[in-house]
Structure 1
Amino acid sequence: MHNFESPNDGVRWSELVDRLDGRLDTLAQSFTARVRQIPEYGDSQVTIPEIRDTARETFRRLIQGLRGGQEDEARVGLLTFASDLGSKRARAGIPPESLTSAVRLDFSILWADLLEIAAPEDAALLASRVDQVWRVVDEFAIRTHMSYLTERVRMAQEESSIQREFIARLFNQSTLSAETSAQVGSALGIGPDSRCGLVAASGEPGVRLRAAATQFGSGQRRHRLFLHESGGNTYLFWPLPPRPARATRSMALQLPPLLADIPCGYVPEVNGLRSLPAAARTAESLAALLRPADSGPVSADAAWTRLAQQNLQDAGLDLAAQLDEAMEECRGGERERLTETVRHYLSTGNITATAEQLFCHRNTILNRLNRFEELTGIDLTVPAQAARLVVAWA
């Protein structure tokens, strides 16, 4: 590639750079006016004077980078300034897209001003220097973005650490004070009285819950998931949207889609952060009762009989064993017929419907139910007694 610069081009370039250096206020004002038009940048906490002062210093250092003779010193100063700027903008909450748009202004404003102060006969010189201008600005932009992303990661880790501390405080207290729940809510960005959903699992389902939390945290999604791990269990909870005035319960309770196929204990609605510890114990108990056929979250509505059966067994009462003992005198296929009839009756509560399902006369069904009562002492027409059977056969 040929070098078309004349011996005087270096001198002329220095003159143009000096003139740029004398126009720092103009450059800063142009940048300030244009950057305030960028969405989410103009409404940020960064003030106009700060934007203007930072722009002035940015252009001063970029112009230093365009000079000859002190390239290394100027480059170090420029990149150090870029690192500080990236960190500041991250802490100010400037979105990455807005920062990108702002940094791109540097080259266009700088180059437009060069064109304005240059003479027509400088065209060849400018053409030969455009790569230098772009290289200086681009290196500044890259360092700014790298520092911005590094600071964002550090801030996210710090925020995550703080959140984990508050969540642990939330779960590790059996009774929460209003003050503690308010502090936790403030740290998590949700109201202390917010309704929440909660799930719990251990083992492989717990691993899947943790993976789901990571996926939700990687982007902007409809639900916010908060993670807690304790005693081999993984807990996730999330704020529910306000319940519409005319919503049914099923409409108001919403499960994050990524959790739909993970077997776990599920409490669909927790009324306020102060209720989360008790809900966590419920979800943990439900998770301990999961069965191989369960392919998704299991709530107390769906598994209340399992909970009741487990609690009775823990108290030394095994209703299923009592039933087996009571029906020992059955002979032939009588036990199977009685069991089939009773199960159908429990599912419908109707003699006629049970007879139709089993293709029997209703008197046959009545006789079998009477025989079952004779053997077990359970009158299925009495809800309190029928409930014992439902639990026994959970």
Structure 2
Amino acid sequence: MHNFGTPGDSIRWIELVDQLEGRLDKLAQTFTARVREIPEYGESQVTVPEIRDTARETFRRLTHGLRGGEADNGRDGLLAFASDLGSKRARAGIPPESLTSAVRLDFSILWAELLEIAAPDDAGLLASRVDLVWRVVDEFATRTHMSYLTERVRMAQEESSIQREFIARLFNQSTLSAETSAQVGSALGISPDAWCGLVAAGGEAGAGLRAASAQFGSGLQLRHRLFLHESGGTTYLFWPLPAPRATPRGAPVQVPQLPPSLAGIPCGFVPEVHGLRALPAAARTAESLAALIRPNDSGPLSADAAWARLANQNLQDAGLDLAAQVEEALEECRGGERERLMETVRHFLSTGNITVTAEQLFCHRNTILNRLNRFEELTGIDLTVPSQAARLVVAWA
């Protein structure tokens, strides 16, 4: 039995390390076989020869580090090799947990080989050197993992920069060619013909959209992938939607989906945009809807919900104020007649039904008819005619 720390121990330890170094091919083959059992390695773009060659070089550098006093001489080379390995595995798309599983194999394979070549009376020597073996392998594993994470961050930044460039190209062209649409789709990882949802907002709501985007990050493995664009004080977010589902008759129907993080942000919302080429026009629509947001709006505003507001705004921009015309026509009302007429008309516009309106206002049906006739007499608007009723809906939007 060897005594710990004696010159004989050091000599015997170097003998064992020399034997390890003579078995590099066997160590590499064992590692290659076991690492290929990790699914992500078996399916990755890292080839078997590359895994084997890398494993051989890894074990060569590790055994050099096990030489005790000579360990520091090869430490820089070992860590440089670990840094390069971590970077390569990140670029190869190996998941972090798979990389960790692979690197952990180094210690078990080295230690198993040491046990195989050691003599029975080397037990005390191995016990005294287990910390050294673990320390060398752990330092290698830590540097590999740190380099891997650094490279992943760098890749994410590069991807984000490339995506921003292509998204800007997408929004800054009024008419997109099929070629440009395909290029943008390839850069973003979505089909150029994909259905998308889109929102737009400025000010505080725009900041909310940016926060939602930052929360999701690149979103590559999330249900909703949010893509951000900012221009002229307006923030835009868009995301791909699932493929349309087929109806019983076989016609595809798109079911809009709003990411939960956007549900409480008042913004312009276009729920269905078919294809990337339609996004610039949809962005203009969303921006127009965002301009119609009111203080009591608590979430996204779509054209279905705000078409009357949008029409009213466009008419006012053209110098036509329908609401003012109605107000002027009702000026001859006396007492509470104006309020009663407006209340009755608003209820009728929301239901389109005389009987339901009467029930809501606790009035006789004839009373409702009389009020609608009086309103028509004063304003010239017959609410039973859809085109005239729509005029009032827009006026009061």
Is 1:95 matched up with 2:98?
A: no
Q: Aligned partners of 1:126 and 1:70: how far apart in 2?
A: 18
Deviation at 1:70, TM superposition (A): 3.0
Name the structure 1 match of 2:230.
229
* Secondary structure, counterpart of 2:283 in structure 1: helix
Name the structure 1 match of 2:23.
23
Partner amino acid for 2:359? E
- Written as runs of structure 1 = structure 2, the 5 A alignment for 1:179-198 is 179-198=179-198
Deviation at 1:374, TM superposition (A): 1.4
Q: Aligned partners of 1:13 and 1:270: how far apart in 2?
A: 70
Name the structure 1 match of 2:381.
378
Q: Does structure 1 conserve the Cα–Cα contact (< 8 Å) formed by 2:246 and 2:253?
A: no
Instruction: Spell out, residue by residue over 1:112-146, the C-alpha distance to the aligned partner (whole angstroms, 9 max, x if none).
Output: 00000000000000000000000000000000011
Name the structure 1 match of 2:305.
302
- Written as runs of structure 1 = structure 2, the 5 A alignment for 1:137-148 is 137-148=137-148
Q: Does structure 1 conserve the Cα–Cα contact (< 8 Å) formed by 2:273 and 2:282?
A: yes
RMSD: 1.5
Instruction: Spell out, residue by residue over 1:293-338, the C-alpha distance to the aligned partner (whole angstroms, 9 max, x if none).
Output: 1111111111111111111111111111111111111111111011
Name the structure 1 match of 2:257.
254
Q: Aligned partners of 2:288 and 2:87: how far apart in 1?
A: 46
The counterpart of 1:282, out of the listed 281, 285, 290, is: 285
Deviation at 1:250, TM superposition (A): 9.3
Deviation at 1:361, TM superposition (A): 2.1
Instruction: Spell out, residue by residue over 1:174-228, the C-alpha distance to the aligned partner (whole angstroms, 9 max, x if none).
Output: 1111111111000000000000001111111111111111111276321111011
Q: Aligned partners of 2:229 and 2:218: how far apart in 1?
A: 17
Partner amino acid for 1:346? L
Q: Aligned partners of 1:331 and 1:200: how far apart in 2?
A: 45
Is 1:318 matched up with 2:321?
A: yes
* Secondary structure, counterpart of 2:208 in structure 1: helix
**What TM-score do you get using the length of structure 2 for normalisation?**
0.96
Name the structure 2 match of 1:13.
13
Deviation at 1:249, TM superposition (A): 9.7
* Same amino acid, percent of matched pairs: 83
The counterpart of 2:296, out of the listed 287, 293, 305, is: 293
Name the structure 1 match of 2:155.
155
Partner amino acid for 2:46? V
Instruction: Spell out, residue by residue over 1:57-92, the C-alpha distance to the aligned partner (whole angstroms, 9 max, x if none).
Output: 000000110114433220000000000000000001
Q: Aligned partners of 2:337 and 2:128: how far apart in 1?
A: 101
Name structure 2 gaps, 5 residues minimum.
Answer: none
Q: Does structure 1 conserve the Cα–Cα contact (< 8 Å) formed by 2:244 and 2:253?
A: no
Partner amino acid for 1:384? S
Q: How many residues in Structure 1 have an aligned counterpart in Structure 2?
A: 392
- Written as runs of structure 1 = structure 2, the 5 A alignment for 1:1-394 is 4-217=4-217, 220-246=221-247, 252-394=255-397
Partner amino acid for 1:166? F
Deviation at 1:356, TM superposition (A): 2.0
Query: Runs of 4+ in structure 1 displaced over 3 angstroms?
Result: 247-251
**What TM-score do you get using the length of structure 1 for normalisation?**
0.97
* Secondary structure, counterpart of 2:197 in structure 1: strand
Q: Aligned partners of 1:349 and 1:365: how far apart in 2?
A: 12
Q: 1:313 to 1:370 in 2, by over 3 A?
A: same
Q: Aligned partners of 2:91 and 2:253: how far apart in 1?
A: 41
